[in-house]
């Protein structure tokens, strides 16, 4: 009789991209271990291999009209950005996270814990035995604390735009700050001692970060490679959406546009309106069509002949190989898949690591990113798009790297076994 499988605990904070990347990291792990997946209650994990455990936002966040927080961890973090002084509600939420994490650890006694780096601060909430190794998966260079000299800090400070300042002060350091308010009830050890006890796993292709000067300072650092979704391993990927399937059948020259949760943001609205107009003109002149993911309500009727909004789930592994160009914020999910299929990109970055990737792409390809703070788009835009669409050596080289050797999922399994 075979011994029962050991448990591995996986934690993310509940954004769509986090969820997809964590599932990519677990692709091989779930075959050897029982995976306990701790995320938002709102996430519906399709894979029956996972044991689902969920965070639930406290009622006072949802019912209080002054907070207007969605019932999710993502809603909580968004609220933290705009309400940095309301430590009472933040403290109560931290307590609930602490209790849930420690209950799950006591219940399943996992052999290892995997955490996506945006959730790194929760390690100060653990009360687990110190022999349980914790692996932090970094899908992008990130700044995790104001108090720890971070590996990538100096190289990510440059685009000091307002959203970055807010998120660094409140989101990335929020839970850690709250932990210190009540340090007697949290895991013992100084911030740096806890940080040094972790295993830091870099999940990107080396070709994407050649100019990073890494000062490890005695940390446990491992390289896994870029996280790729299950769909990239399949020979046939279904559209899963009849509207998307019909558009792909009708149009040969597709530009795929996706801004994720920022599509309707007031922050991007002025430049986005101009972008859709010039894309419309380009499509008419050059026989192209735009598929705009989650673009309903953002496309004026007069542009709907060339700008086609498709809402809901869109398999990137289906649409990206059929596209001539991808225009997006720089999210790692879509970026990795675009590189995998060697499809050129235009970055429209919003978050700090997206600016890093966008500047890196410009450095290697000569294609500048679109700066949402700029008063206008690159001129002349038609020439800009034609240049961006040219397949270049850098994109092809990264694509080759992603097709050879062990996958990140295989390397992660080997690391924790």
Q: Is the pLDDT assigned to residue 363 strictly greater than 80?
A: yes
Last residue of a domain, one of 227, 262, 294: 227
pLDDT at 87 over 70: no
Question: What share of the chain has pLDDT > 90, as a percent?
Answer: 33
Say which range, 162-171, 386-395, 398-407, has the weakest mean pLDDT.
162-171
Same structural domain for residues 130 and 255? no
Judge contact between 282 and 288, C-beta under 8 A.
yes
Q: Is the pLDDT of residue 148 over 90?
A: no
The span from the CA of 255 to the CA of 385, in Å, is 10
- Domain end, chosen from 207, 227, 247, is at 227
Does the residue 409 lie in any domain? no
Residue 229 in this model has a pLDDT that exceeds 70: yes
On whether both 290 and 200 belong to a single domain, the answer is no
Give the span between the Cα atoms of 162 and 165, in whole angstroms: 5
**Structure confidence at residue 378 (pLDDT):** 85
pLDDT bucket at 85, cuts 50 / 70 / 90: low
Number of H helices, E strands in the chain: 17, 12
* Structural domain for 262, as ranges: 232-403
Is the pLDDT reported for residue 137 higher than 50?
A: yes
The verdict on residue 1 lying in a domain is no
State whether residue 353 is helix, strand or coil.
helix
Least confident of 170-179, 233-242, 368-377: 170-179
Q: Report d(CA 317, CA 270) in Å as an integer.
A: 30
More confident residue, 31 or 96: 31
148 found inside a domain: yes
Instruction: Please tell me the predicted confidence (pLDDT) of residue 196.
Output: 75
211 and 277 inside one domain: no
The verdict on 45 and 194 lying in the same domain is: yes
Give SS3 for 200: strand
**Sheet harboring 220-223: ordered strands across?**
50-55, 34-40, 7-11, 112-116, 134-138, 199-202, 220-223
Residue 333: give its domain's CATH number: 3.40.50.2000
* Averaged confidence pLDDT in the chain: 77
Same structural domain, 188 and 165? yes
pLDDT at 86: 60
Give residue 158's pLDDT. 45
pLDDT at 199 over 70: yes
Tokens 């690159």 correspond to 378
What confidence tens digit (pLDDT) does each residue in 301-346 have? Answer: 999 999 999 988 888 999 999 999 999 989 888 999 999 999 999 9
- Letter string b/e over residues 36-65, b meaning 16 or more CB atoms within 10 A of that residue's CB: bbbbbebbebeeeebbebebebbeebeeee
CA atoms within 13 A on the CB side of 61: 26
Q: Please indicate, yes or no, whether residues 105 and 202 belong to a single structural domain of this protein.
A: yes
Residue 210 pLDDT greater than 50, yes or no: yes
Q: Count of domains in the chain?
A: 2
Per-residue confidence band for 38, with pLDDT thresholds at 50, 70 and 90: confident
Q: Which residues pair with 208 in a beta bridge?
A: none
Of 19, 194, 69, 58, which Cα lies nearest the Cα of 124? 194
* Same domain, residue pair 362 and 399: yes
Q: Is 168 among the domain residues? A: yes
**Is the residue at 55 inside a domain?**
yes
> Which tens digits make up the pLDDT trace of 246-283?
999 999 999 999 987 677 677 777 888 889 999 999 99
What's the whole-number mean pLDDT along residues 272-299? 92
Better-predicted residue by pLDDT, 205 or 7: 7
Paired residues of 204 in beta bridges: none
Q: Say if residue 132's pLDDT is above 70.
A: yes
When pLDDT is averaged across residues 179-189 and rounded to a whole number, the result is 47
Residue 43 is assigned to a structural domain of this protein: yes
Predicted pLDDT at 83: 58
CA nearest to 308, candidates 317, 319, 318: 319
Closest CA relative to residue 357, chosen from 316, 326, 324: 326
Same domain, 371 and 320: yes
The reported pLDDT for the residue numbered 301 is 92
Name the burial class of residue 278, with classes exposed (0-12), middle (13-18) and buried (19+) by CB atoms within 10 angstroms of its CB.
middle
Interatomic CA distance for residues 331 and 333, integer angstroms: 6
Q: Which stretch of 167-181, 187-201, 299-313, 357-371 has the lowest confidence by average pLDDT?
A: 167-181
Do 179 and 282 fall within a single domain? no
In this structure, are 266 and 210 located in the same domain?
no
Domain boundary among 190, 205, 227: 227
167 and 27 inside one domain: yes
Across the strands, what pairs with 149?
Answer: none
CATH code, 94: 3.40.50
Task: Determine, yes or no, domain membership for 412.
Answer: no
278, 143: one domain: no
Core vs surface per residue 154-172: b (16+ CB within 10 A) or e: ebbeebebebbeebbebbb
Higher local confidence (pLDDT), 267 or 42? 267
Q: Give the residue among 405, 325, 337, 395 at the shortest CA–CA distance from 366.
A: 395
């Amino acid at each position: 009789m075979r011994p029962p499988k050991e448990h591995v605990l996986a934690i993310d904070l509940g954004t769509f991209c986090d969820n997809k990347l964590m599932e990519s990291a677990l692709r091989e792990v779930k075959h050897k271990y029982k995976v306990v997946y701790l995320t938002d209650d709102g996430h519906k994990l399709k894979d029956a291999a996972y044991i689902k455990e969920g965070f639930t936002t406290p009622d006072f966040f949802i019912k209080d009209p002054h907070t207007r927080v969605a019932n999710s961890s993502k809603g909580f973090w968004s609220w933290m950005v705009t309400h940095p002084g309301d430590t009472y509600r933040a403290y109560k939420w931290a307590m609930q996270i602490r209790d849930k994490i420690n209950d799950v650890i006591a219940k399943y006694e996992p052999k290892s814990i995997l955490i996506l780096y945006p959730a790194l601060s929760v390690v100060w909430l653990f009360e687990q035995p110190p022999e349980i190794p914790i692996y932090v998966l970094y899908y992008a260079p990130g700044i995790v604390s104001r108090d720890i000299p971070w590996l990538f800090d100096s190289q990510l400070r440059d685009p000091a735009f307002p959203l970055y300042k807010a998120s660094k002060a409140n989101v990335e350091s929020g839970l850690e700050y709250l932990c210190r308010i009540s340090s007697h009830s949290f895991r013992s050890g100084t911030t740096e001692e806890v940080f040094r006890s972790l295993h830091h796993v870099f999940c990107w292709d080396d070709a994407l970060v050649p100019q990073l000067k890494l000062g490890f300072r005695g940390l446990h650092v491992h390289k896994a490679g870029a996280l790729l979704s299950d769909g990239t391993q399949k020979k046939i990927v279904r559209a899963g959406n009849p509207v998307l399937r019909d558009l792909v059948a009708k149009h040969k020259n597709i530009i795929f546009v996706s801004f994720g949760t920022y599509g309707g943001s007031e922050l991007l609205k002025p430049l986005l309106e101009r972008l859709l107009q010039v894309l419309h003109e380009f499509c008419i002149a050059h026989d192209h069509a735009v598929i705009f993911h989650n673009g309903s309500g953002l496309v004026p009727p007069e542009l709907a002949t060339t700008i086609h909004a498709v809402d809901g789930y869109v398999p990137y592994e289906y649409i990206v190989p059929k596209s001539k160009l991808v225009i997006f914020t720089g999210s790692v999910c879509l970026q990795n898949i675009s590189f995998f299929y060697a499809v050129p990109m235009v970055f429209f970055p919003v978050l700090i690591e997206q600016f890093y990737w966008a500047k890196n792409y410009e450095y290697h390809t000569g294609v500048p990113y679109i700066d949402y703070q700029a008063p206008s788009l690159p001129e002349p835009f038609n020439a800009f798009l034609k240049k961006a669409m040219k397949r270049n050596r850098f994109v092809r080289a990264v694509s080759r790297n992603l097709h050879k050797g062990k996958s990140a999922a295989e390397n992660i399994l080997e690391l924790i076994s």
